Every structure is written in structure tokens, then in C-alpha cells.
Structure 1
Amino acid sequence: MRIFLLTLAALLQASVVFAADINCRGKVTRLMDYPQQCNGNTAFVTENSNHKWICPPSSKGDALLLAALAADKIVDVYIDSPDNAFSCNNLPNYIKARYIIINP
């Protein structure tokens, strides 16, 4: 049992090393309603997303983005980048954000 737990811990640690979030932080520069691409949510672009559209993780993200746009606030937009495959410069269009933070 002890060997199993050590092996499991090593595997979990290795998976954390390969998983990374990138942050395409910036002001929201464009926001549109595009439910076909974003599971009923809006799509948005930030200053640092290289003109690529990002989908918020939920409808609550829509509200955060609207507030950020209206108040001219900066948002942190974290996107999963397995094996560091993505950067803010090479995002595919309509990638789903993992989470969004609005900065005061």
C-alpha cells in the first residue's frame, strides 16, 4: 500500500509540472455575444490576447467582463496551457478561460 501511495504521489507531481496556466492579463478591448462558440456566453478580447477571442468559463464571467469593460479595469484571464503549448501570442480563437479575476 505504501508503494502504491508513493507511486501515486509521484504521478500527481509529474502531472502538475506539465500543466500550466497562462495569464493574458489586460483591459477588455472587445466583447460580443457569440453563444454558438462560447456555450451561451459572451466572447472577449484583452489587450494581450493578440486579437484572439476568449470564452469566459461561465455566465458569471460574462458579468465580470461587462463590469471590467464599463469601469475600464484590468482583468487577469487564466487559460490552461498543457505542456506550455499556448502563449498569449498564439492562442486559438474561442479558447475557454479557466478563471477570470477583475482587479480593483
Structure 2
Amino acid sequence: MKALLTALPILFPVLAIAADINCKGKVTWVMDYPQQCSGNTAFKTSGSDGQWICPPSDNGNAIVLAALTADKSVEVYIDSKNGSISCSSLPNYVSAKYIIINP
């Protein structure tokens, strides 16, 4: 137990850095670009700083299209690569880990 308590202060910063980022916003563009997105569409949100994001699955494609047609915003979670990327520094055609449509 004492070893665990000693390790916790070391683990918390590591876990905080490895967090996903949320590039949420309204879906502004959708295009079909299967070569870049493993057969899925690509999309931009108002929070992706003009970069294209790839949905993780066919269900992700459907969520993005539903959000676009219903004028809803989405929560787009992306691996931060240990803090090396942010929503304002996304690489083009980054893959989302998961997408949530806001009611």
C-alpha cells in the first residue's frame, strides 16, 4: 500500500498528459475521402481549426451527417499524442477516437 501511495504523485502527471482532447463544435464541412480516412468520410468542425478529421467508423459517419443536417454540435475526442497536439494544432486527416452528438 505504501508503494502505491508513493507512486501516485508520479502517475498523475503521466495520466493527465495522456488524455484525449475534445475538438467540439458544429460540423461545418463533410466530404467523402476514403483514401485518407480508411473508407470513411472526412469532416471539419468549428473547433478543428480548419483541419479534416476522420470518423472512427460507419456509425461515426452517420453521427457527423446527422449533426450537420440537424445543425447540432458534436464532441470529437482525439488522442493528444501525449500532449503534442491540440485542437489548434491538429494534423490534417487525424482520426477521432469517438464522436458524440449533442442534443
TM-score higher than 0.5 here?
yes
Residue of structure 2 equivalent to 1:57: 56
Q: How many residues align structurally?
A: 100
Match of 1:32 in 2: 31
What displacement does 1:82 show?
A: 2.1
TM-score, scaled to structure 2? 0.86
Amino acid corresponding to residue 32 of structure 2 in structure 1 = D
Residue 82 of structure 1 aligns to a residue whose secondary structure is coil
What 5-or-longer segments of structure 2 have no aligned partner?
none
Equivalent residue runs for 1:1-104 within 5 Å: 16-104=15-103
Distance 1:13 1:90 in 2: 24
Percent pairwise identity: 62
**Cα deviations by residue, 1:28-70 (Å, 9 ceiling, x for unpaired):** 0000000000000000000010100000011110000000000
- State TM-score, norm by structure 1: 0.85
Give the Cα–Cα distance (whole angstroms) in 2 for the partners of residues 63 and 12 of structure 1: 37
Alignment RMSD, CA only? 1.9
Instruction: Structure 1: state its 5+ residue gaps.
Output: none
| Poorly superposed stretches of 4+, deviation over 6 Å | 9-14
